[in-house]
Structure 1
Amino acid sequence: MDDVYERSWAQVICRTVAGLTDMSDLNDQLTPEQLGDRIRVARENASKTQANAAEAIGVARTTLVAMEKGVRRVKISELQQLARLYGTSANALLRKEAVHVELAPKFRKLANNEEQSVAQAAELMAQLVRAEVELESLLGIERVHNLPPERRILLGDVRQQAEQHALDLRHWLGLGLSPIVDIVSILEMQMGVRVYVRRLAAKISGLFAYDEKVGACILLNANHPLDRRTQTAAHELGHLVATRMDVEVSEIDELENSREEKYANAFARGFLTPAQAVRQKFAEVTAGATSLTRRHVIVLAHFFHVSREAIVRRLEELQLTKKGTWDWFVANGSITDEQARQVLGEAFRRDPLKDEAALPVSLKASLMANQAAKRGLLSEGQIARLLHLDRVQVRDILSDIDAEESGANAATSILR
């Protein structure tokens, strides 16, 4: 009798939620324990307590606990109420193939993570990853992950280890000693890392998290200049190489108070400005000169796509210029963007990702959402909840994409 009841409960759940396919093979259904675990993950991602959730559906907290453990079956009305409370859908909770992301709870477990700005950034990252993963799952997009083997930080000189690991990764990626023109593209296209650039509190440079189901994820601060974001991305890449199972929040001017931070900072320098390449380019740029000038610094920083301060500090570290050189420049008017424009002219870089960060949702997510809407996989309201937008914003995004596509013709058709 219990088996019959279990089967009828699974069938009722699946047939009641709009958008689910007919699942006649009951072996494909989620068990009560699996569903309970998904409900728990969704609650933790939404920063809701068990008491909050229990009150929302009118049950005792002990009942909610039993539901999350799979001991007490979830009614469809309760599931729908909880989905709304957690900013997701009953469909997403029930689909067998759906991936549920546990990033925000990991950040909340950090010892010094009580600051509101950090909590908000962690939640934003979790929202972005959840939305992207859900859209990929609906559209049948398989994301390829190509991560290098994890490298342990051993005893001894941590900076030397980081430099070698950075050089090894460059060769593994086929980069050699060439400059890193666009680190975000390398992370996304060659390694399958999920990289997001959004506006964060000024003190936060970036966040890093790794989850076996969704891969490596990095969030960068769009309010920071491109060269600083590049440095932060390389720093987080260092954590991916050596300590990928630990979540990371990078803050401006954070002290190197651990071997892990020393490693990540040294890795970033080694990855963006390999010692051999810096020495070679320095010799070319300063040939015949007796002192390091602003023009030298501007040209070198532009070549390696790093900040003027970063390249001078690297020159000091490699003993190509005296210690305190950057401090001298700062004390004597620094090296300004206007001076860089005068030296570089049209080569002075634009920052397209900063422009995209001003949009309510990334271009990639908006295109996937449009396809999900066209295929009838998600309604306008479901997209709004998934992307944390209102319906007017969703309507505008979808209509803009449709307008662009309506201007195309047969000559631009994609061959599948």
Structure 2
Amino acid sequence: MALTPGGLSPKELGDLLRQARENAEITQAAAATALDVARTTLVAMEQGQRRPRVDELQKLAALYGLSLNELLRQDTVRVDLRPRFRKAGEQNEKVEAAIELLNALVQAEVEFEDLLGIQRSRLDPPERPLLPGNVVLQAEQDAAELRQWLGLGLAPVRDIVSMLELQLGARVYVRKLDPKISGLYAFDERAGACILLNASHPRDRRTQTGAHELGHFISTRLAPDTLHDGTAESSREERYANTFARCFLTPARAVSVKFQELTAGASKLTRRHIILLAHVFGVSREATVRRLEELGLTKPGTWDWFVQQGGITDAQALEVLGDLIPPDDAKVDARRLISMRMGVMASEAWRQSLLSEGQIARLLHIDRVDARTLIDEFEAEGVETNGSRSFSA
């Protein structure tokens, strides 16, 4: 398998190999002999004309008295999101802790990608800066435009995290945060859009938060955002993001059509109708009723009436939906020390001898025991699936 770290061009990698050899005072002939290749092959590597394989980089690193990480100078990789938030005035200790967590997750993921030569695919959507005039109308138009751009049409967004990650290439993490923090967003030219969602919140609420942060990604891309529980719409930016989230997740036409289908022949709006509508669009029961009120499909104050009558409970939703309620895999992954994706990359980096246990522990901010446990888990999974599927380099 050929390796060209994501942040290095073949020419830059060749320059690093040449500099390391010269610093070790080893001739091209001696290095070529150690690799069991012709001298001309080593010259081609150092000139960026031939990509070295992982095993060749490992041999060269050992020959030059360096770790592979040192050879590739991956310690120069830096993605620091913290200054962006501090310029925005975020000083709360719990917010600072969330910012530190997001920064550490992004930094570690970028370093693993560089080390393993992974080129992350990104598809940043068209940016739509806020314009003078009706910001609510602009948010509705932008949400409809993005849906068409993504090929969603009027279909429900089944999994916003997967959509953000797989279609847009955003970095999305679901981790337990202070209950009052719903999510964080930041953009870095190299890392792309970075979003942290609170695993302590229900799935439908995380969906709303993800769509809210997507609104910032569309409109105020370079400005970081920290969404607190019950954040007031005190600015045009927040009004835009909130409206964008509603329109993106529950487009007016789709809601109206589904509402008519579900309530056909009914004389009044019931809890069952709300539960089914909320399930279809993957949003909370309250958000569903508020949207119906906004669209004039039910009377203003309908949600308040339901609350006065005891609300619409999870137990009632379970009675209506039963097995249709899917398991929340994000909460399972959030119990891990790191994300599943980074766990796989860490294990692969160790398997290829690119990083030691100690280096993995430092990079992921975990102790050596946890790093060893992480590696053992993925080693065991690799043994179980060995031979069941082949991958091409």
Same fold (TM over 0.5): yes
Rate the CA distance shift 1:346–1:26 in 2: closer, same or farther, 3 A. Answer: closer
SS state at 2:385 partner: coil
Match of 1:378, as an amino acid?
L
Distance in 2 between residues matched to 1:13 and 1:392, nearest whole Å:
38
User: Given the alignment of the two structures, is residue 119 of structure 1 paired with residue 101 of structure 2, yes or no?
Assistant: no
Distance 2:313 2:222 in 1: 39
Secondary structure at 1:196's aligned position in 2? strand
Identity of aligned residues (%): 55
CA distance in structure 1 between the partners assigned to 2:368 and 2:75 by the alignment: 27
> 1:302 aligns to what?
279
1:304–1:159 CA distance, 2 compared to 1 (3 A): same
Give 1:100's match in structure 2, choosing from 78, 83, 92: 78
Q: CA deviation at 1:160?
A: 0.9
1:323 aligns with 2:300: yes
Distance 1:164 1:201 in 2: 33
CA contact (8 A) 2:74 2:114 kept: no
Unaligned runs of 5+ in 1: 1-9, 29-88
Q: Please give the alpha-carbon distance, in whole angstroms, between the structure 2 residues aligned to 1:369 and 1:378.
A: 8
**Residue in structure 1 matched with residue 88 of structure 2 by the alignment:** 110
Alignment-mate amino acid for residue 286 of structure 1: T
Aligned partner of 1:291 in structure 2 is: 268
Looking at structure 2, the residues matched to 97 and 385 of structure 1 have their Cα atoms a distance apart, in angstroms, of 12
Aligned equivalents of 1:404 and 1:94: distance in 2?
A: 29
**Residue 176 of structure 2: aligned partner:** 199
RMSD: 2.6
Residues 272-283 of structure 1 aligned to structure 2 (within 5 Å) = 272-283=249-260
* CA distance 1:300–1:258, shift in 2 (3 Å): same
- Does residue 355 of structure 1 match 2:332? yes
> AA paired with 2:73?
R
Per-residue CA distance 1:90-134 (angstroms, 9 max, x = gap): 9579727953102012112222x1110000000000000000000
* Alpha-carbon separation, structure 2, partners of 1:239 and 1:200: 20
**Aligned counterparts of 2:22 and 2:247: Cα–Cα separation in 1:** 54
2:281 partner amino acid: F
Amino acid in structure 2 at the alignment position of 1:101? V
- Alignment partner of 1:155: what SS? coil
AA at the equivalent of 2:214:
L
**After superposition, what is the alpha-carbon deviation per residue over 1:351-395, rounded to whole angstroms, capped at 9, x for unaligned?**
110111011111110100011111111110000000111111111
Query: Measured at CA, do residues 302 and 333 of structure 1 come closer, stay the same or move farther in structure 2, by a change above 3 Å?
Result: same
Spell out the pairing of 1:145-160 with structure 2 (5 A cutoff).
145-160=122-137
What's the TM-score, normalizing by structure 2?
Answer: 0.82
TM-score normalised over the length of structure 1: 0.78
Contact 2:74–2:111 at 8 Å: present in 1 too?
no
Q: Which of these residues, 186, 207, 210, is aligned with residue 230 of structure 1? A: 207
Note if contact 1:98-1:137 (Cα within 8 Å) is conserved in structure 2: no
Higher relative contact order (CA 8 A, sep 6+): 2
Say whether the 8 Å CA contact 1:92–1:98 is kept in structure 2: no
- For structure 2, the residue ranges without an aligned partner over 5 or more in a row are 1-18, 26-30, 33-41, 49-66
SS of 2:182's partner is strand
